[in-house]
Amino acid sequence: MKTSEQSLSNAVTIERKNFDALFASLIKREYQIVGPTQRDGAIIYDIVKSSNDLPEGWAEEQNAGTMRLKRRNDKALFGFNSTVQSWKKFIHPPSQRLWQTKQSSGKPAIIPEKSKKQKLAFLGVRACDLAAMGILDKVFTDSPFTDTGYRIRRSDILVIGVNCTQAGGTCFCASMNTGPAISSGYDIVMTEIVEKSRHYFVVEKGSKVGEEIIKELPSAEANVYEIEGAEELVNKTSSAMGRKIDTTNIKELLSRNSENQRWQQNAQRCLTCGNCTMVCPTCFCTTIEDVTDLTGREANRMRKWDSCFTMDFSYIHGGSIRPSVYSRYRQWLTHKFAAWHDQFGTSGCVGCGRCITWCPVGIDVTEEITAIRMSDKNNPSITLSKENK
């Protein structure tokens, strides 16, 4: 990890009018650039070819169960918070053929899916989503087995991070210690600053490739005011989070509260639609389906995103292990915030807030965890805080 002094001396500024030089440099290096773009009333990640494709001057208002685009009173390129989907869909595709099999007279043939490397540049990765990519890395590459496809997709990705300079209504990365400042895992990191008379980026390198790209861009050495200005914006964001969670001993808290009344209360609202798992940047569960042709002589093994909110997810002979709504919500939340620590040595939540925004009935994880903590019979801090009052 770099010290802050080193990064101080490395930082440069790039003016908005020169920002497209970054696209030129990436295209020259044969990167396909994926970045935020405004479409169908939302901001999504897709292929972008120039800064014209970026959601200039757009922001979103997010709250439990709602998201609405709105115009900013400036022309910020990254003036929004979290998009509908994270970058997960590019490194862990929603639907993917694993292999094909064809019936013949003797042994059926197996045709594995062919490898095709692609160079992707992720432009505008937020701290929470970058942390989520680190978590997926642990799931797919840091275990007894490695998902080869994931490793190949992930290895060629250039990460251009953007520090958040405002917090969204459902954001709580500060509580999960993942943001709003990006601290590692990037090739280039930027902070966008929009002033009355000047629109520029404070840019730092995070890797050799990142350094080479920055060198090609029209830039100036950043002065101490510019650097401090950028830091101040990010620090302010940290204290303006829309949501927060107390994560103290959260694993133990959830483990001993598996029969808390709150799960049942929440089940009155939860529709088990699985939206939270689809938008979550770390939910990795998949199912595999056979898709056959009409002759029945050819089958495709398709791996697809799955959700622990379906009845099928835990189905074994005789029925589902988790038939009730409360048990499925409990499974999701307890896995994300508690079991994940046992399995991968990290929380599964990065505080991006998507599950809160995209829940059709506005169930809020931060509210649920707080409610469980407040009703936890074994929590010494509750009695303590009551005494303090």
Partner 1 sequence: MTVTLEKLTKDIVPSQEMIPEYFRIIRTQKNTHDTFTIELEPPKNGFSFAPGQFNMLYMFGVGEVPISISGDPSDRNTLTHTIRAVGSVTRAMQKLKKGDFVGVRGPFGTHWPAEESKGNDIVIVAGGIGLAPLRPSIYHILSNREKYGKVVLLYGTRMPKDILYRKELEQWRARFDLEVLATVDRAASDWKGNVGVVTTLIPRSHFDPPNTVAMVCGPEIMMRFSVQDLLKRGVPVENIYVSMERNMKCGIGFCGHCQCGPTFICKDGPVYPYNAVKDIFIKREI
Determine, following the binding rule CB under 8 A, whether residue 331 of this chain makes contact with partner 1: yes
Residue 251: CB minimum distance to partner 1, A? 9
Determine, following the binding rule CB under 8 A, whether residue 65 of this chain makes contact with partner 1: no
* Among the listed residues 261, 292, 381, 385, the single contact to partner 1 using CB under 8 A: 292
Task: State the number of binding residues for partner 1 (CB under 8 A).
Answer: 69
Token pair 């898709």 is found at 291
Determine, following the binding rule CB under 8 A, whether residue 252 of this chain makes contact with partner 1: no
Q: Distance between CA atoms of 203 and 188, rounded to whole angstroms?
A: 7
Upstream peptide bond of 380 is cis (omega within 30 degrees of 0): no
Beta carbon nearer to partner 1, 315 or 381 = 315
Q: Provide the token pair at 227.
A: 């650097």
Q: How many CB atoms lie within 10 A of CB 1?
A: 6
Beta carbon nearer to partner 1, 114 or 386 = 114
Determine, following the binding rule CB under 8 A, whether residue 50 of this chain makes contact with partner 1: no
Residue 285: CB minimum distance to partner 1, A? 3
* Among the listed residues 196, 317, 377, 386, the single contact to partner 1 using CB under 8 A: 317
Determine, following the binding rule CB under 8 A, whether residue 125 of this chain makes contact with partner 1: no
Determine, following the binding rule CB under 8 A, whether residue 286 of this chain makes contact with partner 1: yes
Contact set for partner 1, span 94-123 (CB under 8 A): 96-99, 101, 103, 107-108, 110, 112-118, 120
Contact set for partner 1, span 130-149 (CB under 8 A): 139-140, 143-149
Determine, following the binding rule CB under 8 A, whether residue 377 of this chain makes contact with partner 1: no
Give the x-and-dash track for 220-249 against partner 1 (CB under 8 A): ------------------------------
* Among the listed residues 18, 32, 38, 175, the single contact to partner 1 using CB under 8 A: 32
* Among the listed residues 6, 9, 28, 47, the single contact to partner 1 using CB under 8 A: 47
| Residue span binding partner 1 (CB under 8 A) among the ranges 9-17, 54-62, 64-72, 297-305 | 297-305
Q: Distance between CA atoms of 340 and 283, rounded to whole angstroms?
A: 11
Residue 287: CB minimum distance to partner 1, A? 5
Half-sphere exposure of 356 (CA within 13 A, CB side): 24
Task: Of 371, 327, 332, give the one whose Cα is nearest residue 348.
Answer: 332
CB-based contacts of 106, cutoff 8 Å, min separation 6: none
Q: Distance between CA atoms of 210 and 205, rounded to whole angstroms?
A: 5
Contacts from 318-327 at CB under 8 Å and sequence distance 24+? 324/267, 325/267, 325/270, 325/272, 326/263, 326/264, 326/266, 326/267, 327/263
Q: How many CB atoms lie within 10 A of CB 195?
A: 9
Determine, following the binding rule CB under 8 A, whether residue 337 of this chain makes contact with partner 1: no
Report the first-to-last Cα separation within the chain, whole angstroms.
42
Determine, following the binding rule CB under 8 A, whether residue 287 of this chain makes contact with partner 1: yes
* Among the listed residues 90, 122, 200, 309, the single contact to partner 1 using CB under 8 A: 90
Contact set for partner 1, span 255-284 (CB under 8 A): 258-259, 284
* Among the listed residues 105, 196, 239, 318, the single contact to partner 1 using CB under 8 A: 318
* Among the listed residues 339, 346, 367, 371, the single contact to partner 1 using CB under 8 A: 339
Contacts from 148-151 at CB under 8 Å and sequence distance 24+? 149/96, 149/113, 149/115, 150/91, 150/92
Length of the chain: 389
Residue 139: CB minimum distance to partner 1, A? 7
Binding site for partner 1 (CB under 8 A): 32, 46-47, 89-90, 93, 96-99, 101, 103, 107-108, 110, 112-118, 120, 139-140, 143-149, 152-153, 258-259, 284-290, 292, 296, 299, 301, 303, 306, 308, 313-318, 321-324, 326-327, 331, 335, 338-339, 341-343
